[in-house]
Amino acid sequence: MYEEDRALVARMRAGDQRAFDEFVNCSAPRLTAFVARRSALDTASLEDVVQSALIKAVRNLASYRGEAALFTWLTEICRHELIDVQRKAARRPAQVSLEETATARLAVAELRVPEHEEPAATLEAATRAAAVMQVLASLPERYFRALEAKYGDGLSVDEIARELGLTMIATQSLLARARDAFRERWLEIADQTHTGASPL
Amino acid sequence: MNDRRPPETGKEADLSVEKILSGALMKSPPEFHFRERLRNAVMREWRAALSESRPARSAMRRWWIGIAAAAGLAAVTLAALLSIPVGESALFGSIARLNDGGIELRSGWFRYHTLQVGDVLRVGERLTVHGSALVTLSGGGTLRIGAGSNLYIAKATELSFERGLIYLDMPPGLTPSNPLRVATVAGIVEHLGTQYEVMSDARAVRIRVREGRVRFSGTSGVVDAAAGTELLTMPDAPISRQGIPTYGRDWLWTTALAPDYDIEGRSLMGFLQWASRELGRPLDFADTHSRDVAGRTILHGSVRGQEPLDALGNVLATTTLTYELRGATIWVHSAR
């Protein structure tokens, strides 16, 4: 199991540039989305978390044993980074840094086509995303991972199957159960909200 | 929450849940510069980790590598000889500063090398900029290049900008007869005595004018933009325009690459004007006395290696003046 991931890591450890490119191209966008879903960090902090996680990963490639998918291993590193950042943020006194500080020096403007979303629509989308994450977090970890891979990362059933170490049929079945569980929990919370019992 | 309520059973229910999940979980892919910075930083660490963990090779393996290296060297030498240009191309500029990552240069088919500070750039060379860099242009002015940029020097006065971030600075009084043109995927940018930034990749181009004016000639027409304007366009698309500040966070990468200013024997006023341009903030004096002091004070020493804001604080600390950032301006007044 996870032969491809193990082979990729072996090639990276041998200094294969293509393997490194494959590793970064596949994992960086997914890892960035992984962090973005779990935090409200600004772009720079989000970048720091992903960068630190990937750096730790490439420094410790030898510790990847192929017992889980490479991406799952990366998300574990990322979770720790995220916890560190959140812990540091909690210790930091609440103050706004000066506009032109040295730390902001690296902030390079990003190319972005203007968005025309109304603030209310943006807020609604953010609230809904938070509610979805809350429901997902209440589901079994395997359901959460399958749904996130399918609807967040856009992975095919085949890719999810490989990542979770399952057959295609088992993955389809897992996704169906996960969707059912999600719907059930979502409706439950919706009902609670309707009766004023939940902040959602 | 009622509008979020999905149907309870059937295919419609599945579709509804899928819509809710996709809407909440799908994230836009990271921006180009984000990806490039990330890739470069992780690659550096990966290479460092590789060099630390490389096991000692056996003598036999070294011997074979020696043979292979000799053969490779011969091949590379031959290839390099074949690719040396017959005559040297026109000068474009020289590297004044390099930050981590550096610049890789390709000229001809086989010639690659990493540039150092002081190296010259010539027409026909292609640059891959891993860190950020400051280039002094042979025709006057400077070019600052952000990490992850790719450029091709098409002519002494034309840069083909493939992707990344650049900032062109032509100080007042410098009006070259053939100003530098920047060719992008969506059109050509020409400056009319100015400071401006161009960000580009295969999809879109953003131009931000900090001082003076630029002219953008795209497929949808020709547009002039004055200081404090941002133009945004894509190939074969209309150009959008909006007002922007000429100072603040978005320009910090350019101030970090500001060329050194030699203060020795120069007036405080000249230095303040330099700092004002680099920070994109107009100067404002509290009174005529402060202005007079700035005009007659002659500076000594050096602020080499200091960024404009640091240099401003350090230089003014040696005078009877001080400053405050008031809105967009640098407000200079007596320290007492």
Question: Are B95 and B104 in contact, with CB atoms under 8 Å apart?
Answer: no
Whether residues B101 and B58 share a domain: the answer is no
Q: Name the residue among B14, B33, B38 with its Cβ closest to that of A110.
A: B33
CA atoms within 13 A on the CB side of B315: 32
Among the residues of chain B, which ranges form H helices?
10-25, 32-53, 59-83, 252-255, 268-279, 288-296, 308-316
What are the angstrom distances between the C-alpha of A95 and each of A104, B224, B312?
15, 41, 25
Q: CA A80, CA A31: separation in Å to the nearest integer? A: 13
Whether residues B232 and B304 share a domain: the answer is no
Residue A183 tokens read as 């719907």
What lies within 8 Å, CB to CB, of B207 at 6+ separation is: B189, B196, B197, B198, B214, B216, B225, B230, B231, B232
Phi, psi of B40 (to 5 degrees): -65, -45
Note the Cα A151 to chain centre separation in Å. 12
Q: How wide is the angle at C-alpha A120 spanned by C-alphas A119 and A122, nearest 5°?
A: 65
Angle between helices B308-316 and B268-279 in degrees, nearest 10: 150
- Residue B120 sits in a domain whose CATH number is 2.60.120.1440
Q: How many domains does chain A fold into?
A: 2
Residue B171 tokens read as 């100080």
Terminal Cα distance for chain A, rounded:
41
What lies within 8 Å, CB to CB, of A105 at 6+ separation is: B252, B253, B255, B256, B307
Count Cβ atoms below 10 Å from residue A129 Cβ, excluding itself.
18
Interface of A with B in 171-190 (CB under 8 A): 179, 182-183, 186-187, 189-190
Q: CA A89, CA A17: separation in Å to the nearest integer? A: 36
Answer yes or no: is B64 within a domain. Answer: yes
Q: How many domains does chain B fold into?
A: 3
Q: CA A1, CA B38: separation in Å to the nearest integer? A: 29
- Residue A164 sits in a domain whose CATH number is 1.10.10.10
Whether residues B284 and B232 share a domain: the answer is no
Domain of A87, in residue numbers:
1-91
pLDDT score recorded for residue A55: 92
Q: What residues of chain A lie within 8 A of the CB of B26, using their CB?
A: 151-152, 154
Residue where a domain terminates, one of B83, B110, B143: B83
Question: Are A183 and B13 in contact, with CB atoms under 8 Å apart?
Answer: yes
Answer yes or no: is B25 within a domain. Answer: no
Whether residues B242 and A114 touch (CB distance < 8 A) is answered with yes
Whether residues B40 and B63 share a domain: the answer is yes
Whether residues B207 and B68 share a domain: the answer is no
- Residue A65 sits in a domain whose CATH number is 1.10.1740.10
Whether residues A100 and B4 touch (CB distance < 8 A) is answered with no
Domain of B96, in residue numbers:
91-252
Answer yes or no: is A106 within a domain. Answer: no
Question: Are B4 and A135 in contact, with CB atoms under 8 Å apart?
Answer: no
Closest-CA residue to B203 (of B158, B233, B223):
B233
Residue where a domain terminates, one of B60, B83, B106: B83
Question: Does the CB of A22 have a partner CB in chain B at under 8 Å?
Answer: no
Q: What residues of chain B lie within 8 A of the CB of A104, using their CB?
A: 249, 252
Q: Per residue in A141-196, pLDDT tens?
A: 889 999 999 998 888 899 899 888 889 999 999 999 999 999 988 888 777 655 44
pLDDT score recorded for residue B126: 87
pLDDT score recorded for residue B299: 93
Q: What is the DSSP string of B206-271?
A: EEEEEESEEEEEETTEEEEEETTEEEEE-TTSPPEEEE--SSSGGGHHHHTTPPP---TT-BHHHH
Q: Name the residue among A110, A190, A200 with its Cβ closest to that of B31.
A: A110
pLDDT score recorded for residue A100: 36
Q: What is the DSSP string of A16-79?
A: -HHHHHHHHHHHHHHHHHHHHHH----HHHHHHHHHHHHHHHHHTGGG--SSS-HHHHHHHHHH
- A29 min Cα distance to partner chain B (Å): 6
- Residue B294 sits in a domain whose CATH number is 3.55.50.30
Mutate to test the interface with A, among B11, B15, B27 (most CBs of A within 10 A): B27
Whether residues A144 and A69 share a domain: the answer is no
- Put simply, whether the predicted model's pTM sits higher than 0.80 gets the answer no
Interface of A with B in 40-99 (CB under 8 A): 43, 47, 50-51, 54-55, 58-59, 61-62, 99
Closest-CA residue to A133 (of A120, A119, A148, A155):
A148
What lies within 8 Å, CB to CB, of B236 at 6+ separation is: B219, B220
Residue B104 tokens read as 């890789």
pLDDT score recorded for residue B10: 61
Q: CA A175, CA B84: separation in Å to the nearest integer? A: 60
Per-residue pLDDT of chain B (336 residues; tens, 9 = 90+): 444 555 555 666 666 888 888 888 887 776 666 777 788 888 888 888 888 766 544 455 665 666 666 766 666 555 555 544 445 678 899 999 888 767 887 765 555 678 888 888 988 888 888 878 999 998 888 999 988 888 989 888 889 888 888 999 987 776 666 778 899 888 889 887 788 888 887 778 889 999 888 989 887 788 899 999 988 887 777 788 888 999 888 888 888 889 989 999 999 999 999 999 999 999 999 999 999 999 999 999 898 888 898 899 999 999 999 999 888 899 999 986
Residue A188 tokens read as 């439950």
Residue A109 tokens read as 């403007």
Q: Per residue in A19-61, pLDDT tens?
A: 998 999 889 989 999 988 888 777 777 888 898 899 999 999 9
Phi, psi of B153 (to 5 degrees): -85, 100
What lies within 8 Å, CB to CB, of A34 at 6+ separation is: A75, A78, A148
**Rg of chain B's alpha carbons, rounded to an integer?**
26
User: One-letter amino acid identity for A95?
Assistant: Q
Residues A6, A7, A8, A11, CA torsion sign: positive
Question: Are A149 and A175 in contact, with CB atoms under 8 Å apart?
Answer: no
Answer yes or no: is A10 within a domain. Answer: yes
Mutate to test the interface with B, among A111, A113, A143, A147 (most CBs of B within 10 A): A111
pLDDT score recorded for residue B143: 93
Q: CA A99, CA B252: separation in Å to the nearest integer? A: 10
Whether residues B197 and B271 share a domain: the answer is no
Return the bridge partners of B120, or none. Answer: B94
